Amino acid sequence: GAGVSQSPSNKVTEKGKDVELRCDPISGHTALYWYRQSLGQGLEFLIYFQGNSAPDKSGLPSDRFSAERTGGSVSTLTIQRTQQEDSAVYLCASSWGGNLYGYTFGSGTRLTVV
């Protein structure tokens, strides 16, 4: 597609369950980013993939969070044993590597942990 696609758009899960959030970046974009937006908060950086380099995981809040990017394209963010404080909108963005002003964001996945 023409834009960054995220699925699902909404997810309600029970506390303690695992969830997987998916991001389909723009074709050809080598960099992919995950951010978290909590109510009343700014965007919190989570993780960043750039080509074949080791990902920058410095923003992952705990070891319950992990992400992978298969084949340099689709990325999955996994949250294990979800907690209520994980409730947020998870935003994915992609860019052509080397083009810092080319970030394109998806519409996000709204995660609610009950």
Binding region for another protein (CB under 8 A): 4, 31, 33, 35, 40-43, 45, 48, 50, 53, 56, 91, 93, 95, 97-101, 103, 105-108
CB of 45 vs another protein, minimal distance in Å: 6
Pairing status of strand 31-37 against strand 10-13: unpaired
CB of 42 vs another protein, minimal distance in Å: 4
* Nearest-angstrom CA–CA distance, 100 and 47: 16
Kindly tell me which of 80 and 97 has the beta carbon lying closer to another protein.
97
Report which residue type is found at 102.
G
Residue 70 has φ and ψ, to the nearest 5°, of -95, 135
